[in-house]
Amino acid sequence: MEQQDNAAIESQPTAISVSPFKGLAQVFYNPAGWFEQIQHKPKVLVPYIVLGVLTLVAFYLMSDQLVEMQLNSPQLQEQLQGQSAPPNMRQILMYSTVGGGTLVFLLAPLAAAVLALFWGNVVFAGHAGFKTLLSLMLYGELIFAVGHMLTMPLVLAKKSLAVGFNLGVLVADRGLEDALYVALSRIDLFIIWEIIVIGIGLSVIYRFPRNKGLLTSVLSMGLLSVFGVLAAVVKSMF
């Protein structure tokens, strides 16, 4: 009996303390190894804070261009009816753009985790906790956030948002709210990288084959991009 108890104790996995900061770099060069480490002890707070800071800085750096785009939008011009914008409108738009844009961006990993939970647990009969999937999405989203930050020097130099590592730059003259621009901008180097990394993580967490993990990634994080394109199409119709 004592031998059996000792064998049972030895068979239990040893708890290893993993620093959440380690994954900030490892997700770029060894995502499978990182997700193996955190699948039983997911990290959420640190990647969420880092993602929030990067997003806030990016929106702040783009705020002048974003506010200018809103001031020149046909919808606002129609509301103003030919009158000048109030003196404080630019400041109000700046705060709402930076704050609101950051908040919306930080809700994306939550939505992606819910979608992954549905596809992975319900449709594909796997098993994973929501916190684990949220941790995966947060670390995966860091790839896009870092890629977005890399475009900031171009945005500031050209004073234009129509720059980046995506196909949207080919039709940027149509406007940033144009449905075709929105669709092509989703074909982005860092978005593709992010979806692949999340697919690797899902295959690790669910013990899926790699192609099934990638499919689950496309059906979760990738589906959010599709929703964005559909929203642009609907907006262009009205």
Torsion angles phi and psi, residue 188, rounded to 5: -120, 140
pLDDT of residue 12: 47
CA dist 116 and 124 (Å) reads 10
Nearest CA among 222, 4, 234, 10 for reference residue 116: 222
Other beta carbons within 10 Å of 223: 16
Task: List the pLDDT tens digit at each of the 238 positions of the chain.
Answer: 444 444 444 444 445 678 999 999 999 999 999 999 998 899 999 999 999 999 999 999 988 888 887 777 666 666 666 666 677 777 888 888 899 989 999 999 999 999 999 999 999 999 999 999 999 999 999 999 999 899 999 888 888 888 888 888 888 777 667 778 888 888 899 999 999 999 999 999 999 999 999 999 999 988 888 888 787 777 766 6
Token pair in block for residue 99? 């704050």
CA dist 30 and 32 (Å) reads 6
Cβ neighbors of 50 (< 8 A, separation 6 or more) are: 24, 142
pLDDT of residue 132: 96
